[in-house]
A = this chain, B = another copy of it.
Amino acid sequence: MSSTSMRTHQCGELRSDDIGQTVSLTGWVGRRREHGEHLAFVDLRDHTGITQCVINDDVDVRSEYVVRITGVVRARPEGTVNDSLPTGDIEVGDCEVEVLRKATPPPFPVDARADGVDENIRLQYRYLDLRRERMQRNLRIRSSVNAAVRKAMERQEFVEVETPMLVPSTPEGAREFLVPSRKEHGAFYALPQSPQLFKQLLMVGGVDRYYQIARCLRDEDLRADRQYEFMQLDMEMSFVGQDDVLDAVSEAVLDAAEAVTGERPGPIERMTWREAMERFGIDKPDLRFGMELTELTDVFSATEFKAFAGAEAIKGLKVDGAADDYGRNQLDKLTDKAKSAGAKGLVWLKCTDEGFDSPVAKFLSDDEVAAVKAAMEAQTGDLILIVADDWMTTCEVLGTLRNDLGRPPVHQGPYRYVWIVEFPLFVGVDKESGRPKPGHHPFTMPHPDDIDKFETDPMAVRSIAYDLVLNGWELGSGSIRIHEPELQKKVFTALGITDEEAARKFGFFLNPFEYGAPPHGGFAFGLDRLVAILAGEENIREVIAFPKTQNGTDPMTNAPVEVDPKQLADLNLKVLPKID
């Protein structure tokens, strides 16, 4: 550990082996207990831990005083050894205490008790909150994740390139932060929502393999899982196919996980979007728990039950042994949830020894009852939920219910990573134009096997777009990009984008490609969430040193603030009166 000219050791470091040594420790005073014979025990604390020091009781040191203590390491007297503390075998005696800085009593205890303090107070005194073991651990986990990710990228010969923070405004997409220019009257920079444009131009520029832990900013409303500013591992590579990208990113993610947990997860599973929807009803499946959806369409192919007859897809979800837990009231709530997720209705069946206890039981034939029980491996006492609708709705509604009923909090282990591949190129249809809408972005490479479906069955065209999912959370997404103009035009045509519109909206992006764009693809994943999950934290603010509140303010610095009128005059700007 790090000795300096002021200390020989850190507070979590001393052991029985050090007994007899004269040491100097620095840190903050934690607990102080008076002890007979004019002595006091002081717990001296730094980020590595605490050491018990025995001082004269006439030394005035109090909670959070900053001190330097020099003394001799000795064994604790029998009966006072503290097994729960790494330094619990020893104490430092014969102490000389130098008070480096007195301290005002802190507004909350600088230990685990602060977890219960109002978050705004914690953020207002963030410099005290950060002194706590939990926050120190989180900051250090974050640092080690960054280091592991960078090392993995460098090992794979990626070049770190810093892209600009002052970029052109591109009003498409999320809302961006603007930065007024002082030199160009009435002109603005924007802060980057991502380095997408620049990283693709780096590929045109022959960089071959680019990465950056990039700061991105979006002026969107904040939630527990979102901040104005976020960090992402941003990468792009040339002359590659999907597997090259997935392999490269997997290395970084697995290295990061190993750096934090000490264990390297196995290779990351790959699953098509279609399979994820069929089995889990969602494109970001949480693989930590079962409750997979069961295909029942064939079971009801000749049903006389009107709600099922003719449905494109019928699927079931089984909740083991839950029949008795769900009264009419809870079942109504599940039905409401299914409806608000888009279903026309929800059928529930409680498995009994005889058949099903359900309002719709009377509409089902004995064969259907038996087939459902067999398909779902249902036992007496299980609750079965069935949706019959178009395929997408059936999957999505049951996927929502599955997560509601079974999903543990995202940040609880075990960690289950999965690549979702072959996303549809088009999702849904624009109501006005009747044209399909892009699933990822209009520069995403279509699957080569599906090019002939553009006219005949556009919604069946798969893309080479992929997401990385951890515990049901989308960590990031990417794609192979279209690098040549004929295919790009085909996609624009399918999206109803004319040549003129393409030139106007995307020229700044596509014109450079004319000078020789290589085949390329990339990925970006959010580090805040990954770090939070690996740190076992639900709220990303716990893994950010100085986060904003959900109001976008910083209670410590009071940002944002009104500024000097002269500063605005320099920018040729005027704040308009508030309209209530």
Interface string of A195-234 (1 = CB under 8 A from B): 0011001101111110000010101000000001101000
Secondary structure class of chain A's binding surface, majority of residues: loop
Subset of 22 A-B contacts with CB under 8 Å: A27-B206, A66-B519, A101-B519, A103-B515, A127-B515, A128-B515, A139-B159, A139-B161, A142-B160, A146-B160, A165-B191, A168-B558, A169-B563, A175-B182, A178-B568, A183-B551, A187-B560, A190-B559, A198-B546, A201-B556, A215-B215, A572-B578
Instruction: Flag whether A564 is at the interface (Cβ < 8 A).
Output: yes
Q: Which of B130, B178, B207 contacts A136 (CB 8 A)?
A: B207
The interface bits of chain A over 117-137 (1 if a CB of B lies within 8 angstroms of the residue's CB, else 0) are: 000000001111111000110
Quick check: A516 and B171 within 8 Å, CB to CB?
no
Residue from B27, B100, B159 in contact with A484 in the complex, judged by beta carbons closer than 8 Å: B100
Q: Is A402 an interface residue (CB 8 A)?
A: no
Contact of A518 among B26, B243, B484 (CB under 8 A): B26
Residues of B within 8 A of A240 (CB): 4-6
Query: If A2-B157, A5-B244, A217-B166 touch, does A575 touch B573 (CB 8 Å cutoff)?
Result: yes
Contacts of A575 in B (CB 8 A): 185-186, 572-574
Contact present for A2 and B187 (CB under 8 Å) = no
User: Would you give the shortest CB distance from A36 to chain B, in whole angstroms?
Assistant: 29
Nearest opposing residue in chain B for A198, CB measure: B546
Q: How many residues of A contact B (CB 8 A)?
A: 129
Query: How distant is the Cα of A45 from the Cα of B162 in the complex, in angstroms?
Result: 24
Known contacts A147-B150, A513-B101, A518-B26; is-contact A202 B6 (Cβ 8 Å): no
Once the chains are docked, how many angstroms separate the CA of A239 from the CA of B559? 30
Interface flags, A502-535, vs B, CB<8A=1, else 0: 0000001000111111110000000000000000
Interface flag for A163 (CB, 8 Å): yes
Q: Is the CB of A207 within 8 A of B47?
A: yes
The answer, among B64, B130, B508, B513, for a CB contact under 8 Å with A202, is B130
Residue of B nearest to A106 (CB): B515
- Residues B563 and A184 in contact, CB atoms below 8 Å apart: no
A356 and B160 CA atoms in complex are apart in Å by 59
Determine the distance from Cα of A143 to Cα of B175 in the docked complex, in whole angstroms.
31
Taking CB atoms, residues of chain B closer than 8 Å to A571 are 178
B6 contacts A519, C-beta separation under 8 Å: yes
**Copies of the protein in its oligomer:** 2
**A551 proximity list for chain B (CB < 8 A):** 183
Mark contacts of A97-117 with chain B using CB atoms, 8 A cut-off: 1 yes-contact digit, 0 otherwise. 000111110100000000000
Contact A4 B244 (CB under 8 A): yes
B215 and A559 within 8 A (CB): no
Contact across chains for B557 and A197 when beta carbons are under 8 A apart: yes
Given the complex, which residues of B lie within 8 Å of A185, measured CB to CB? 575, 578
Assembly CA distance A205 to B191 (angstroms): 29
Q: Which residue of B lies closest to A228 (CB)?
A: B166
Does A164 lie within 8 Å of B6, measured CB to CB?
A: no
Kindly provide the distance from the CB of A558 to the nearest chain B CB, expressed in whole angstroms: 6
Residues of chain A from 548 to 567 with CB closer than 8 A to chain B in the complex = 548, 551-554, 556-564, 567
Cβ–Cβ contact B207 & A139, under 8 A: yes
In Å, the complex CA distance between A556 and B143 comes to 34
Contact A554 B168 (CB under 8 A): yes
Q: Tell me whether A127 and B560 are in contact (CB under 8 A).
A: no
**In the complex, which residue of chain B has the Cβ closest to the Cβ of A527?**
B162
Q: Which of B4, B160, B179, B183 contacts A178 (CB 8 A)?
A: B179
Query: Do residues B241 and A6 form an inter-chain contact, with CB atoms below 8 A?
Result: yes
User: Complex formed: what's the CA distance from A140 to B244 in Å?
Assistant: 21
**Given A147-B150, A177-B179, A545-B198: A206 in contact with B513 (beta carbons within 8 A):** no
Q: How far is it, in angstroms, between the C-alpha of A434 and the C-alpha of B143 when the chains are bound?
A: 47
Of the candidates A139, A179, A241, A554, the one having the most CB atoms from chain B within 10 angstroms of its own CB is A179
Cα–Cα, bound, A183→B5 (Å): 48
A171-B125 contact given A100-B483, A514-B104, CB 8 Å threshold: no
Partner of A181, one of B101, B552, B567: B552
B-contact bits for A425-455, CB 8 A (1 contact / 0 none) = 0000000000000000000000000000000
A156 interface hit (Cβ, 8 Å): yes
Q: Evaluate contact between A561 and B168: CB separation under 8 angstroms.
A: yes
Q: Is A391 an interface residue (CB 8 A)?
A: no
A273 within 8 A of B: no
Contact of A381 with B by CB under 8 A: no
User: With A179-B191, A576-B574 known to touch, is A518 a contact of B164 (CB < 8 Å)?
Assistant: no
Q: Is A1 an interface residue (CB 8 A)?
A: yes
In the assembled complex, which residues on chain B have CB atoms less than 8 Å from the CB atom of A129?
205
CB distance from A439 to the nearest CB of B (A): 23
Residues B166 and A559 in contact, CB atoms below 8 Å apart: yes
